[in-house]
Amino acid sequence: MAGNLRTSFKFFTSSTCLLLLAATLFLSSAAFAQNVEDGFSADADGAIGTLAVLEDGKIIVAGHFTNIAGQTRERIARLHPDGSIDTGFAAVTLDGLVNIASVQADGRIVIFGNFSQVGAHVRNRIARLNADGSVDASYNPSVGSSASVTISAMASQSDGKVVIGGTFDSFGGVPRDNIARLNNDGSLDTSFAPNVDQQVLSLTSTKLMVCSQSMSHVWRRMAVWTRRTAHGSLTLWIPLLSSRTASCW
């Protein structure tokens, strides 16, 4: 299964983000035989919005850059563990930034950002790349009004479905409050319809953990965790937090 390590959905400068990446690889040195003194170097000329460290140690990097590790790459690239460009990953061109990505179990990558074109394909802010970086032409979700949808969290499930969270009141013209799920073909999963009354900040696919700044059904204006069933209903599970104002990340 593909790994998916995401930083915050907030953008970092390239130097800060790559420093965090180097630290991550240092902490994972037992698995990847990599540490911060091994010459990792992947300077980018723009902000990096998201990272995904794969099981083989390669790294998906996406953001607002046009050059990384000395190579021209438009907003997304795959790096070797040493920071060099993986040329086996297609140099697809996007006309806008990528702020979040999620790697699926089969290696395909769902991306969201401020773009309308991915390679030769028209896409309204969301797209999927194949494991080799080429555009998945069969995947074209209907987002709806670009101005009304902001996705700040994404989690891929083992069945190919993708849970998205952020700030929106509909997706593809269907009412959804800040959280929704897409089928493996990109269509909206109509069986999944929970409601979250504030922006969803983070998600994890393991038992579908959701974190939001404010959930009135638990503690208003306090960061809490909830667990949802496969159909989006809330379970009666509230973990102990060291503080009711605990952060989501």
Q: What is the pLDDT of residue 75?
A: 96
Q: What is the pLDDT of residue 101?
A: 94
Give the start-to-end residue ranges of the domains of the chain.
1-140, 147-249
The percent of residues in the chain predicted with pLDDT above 90, rounded, is 49
How would residue 146 be classed by pLDDT, with cut points 50, 70 and 90? low
Determine the Cα–Cα distance for residues 78 and 87; give it in Å rounded to an integer.
8
Most confident range (mean pLDDT) of 26-30, 133-137, 195-199 is 133-137
Q: HEC string of 47-74?
A: CEEEEEECCCCCEEEEECCCEECCEECC
In this model, does residue 2 exceed pLDDT 60? no
Other Cβ atoms less than 10 A from the Cβ of 231: the count is: 11
Other Cβ atoms less than 10 A from the Cβ of 204: the count is: 15
DSSP state letter for 234: B
Residue 66 near residue 45, CB atoms below 8 Å:
yes
The sign one gets for the Cα dihedral 221, 234, 99, 4 is positive
Helix (H) or strand (E) holding 29: helix 29-32
Q: What is the pLDDT of residues 98-128, one digit of tens each?
A: 999 999 999 999 999 999 999 999 999 999 9
Burial of 120 (0-12, 13-18, 19+ CB in 10 A): exposed
In this model, does residue 68 exceed pLDDT 50? yes
Average the pLDDT over 143-147 and give the result. Answer: 71
Q: What is the pLDDT of residue 200?
A: 83
Strands (E), the chain: 48-53, 59-63, 67-68, 71-72, 76-79, 98-103, 109-113, 117-118, 121-122, 126-129, 150-156, 162-167, 170-171, 174-175, 179-182, 200-204, 209-212, 224-227
Residues in the chain: 249
Determine the Cα–Cα distance for residues 165 and 215; give it in Å rounded to an integer.
14
How would residue 211 be classed by pLDDT, with cut points 50, 70 and 90? low
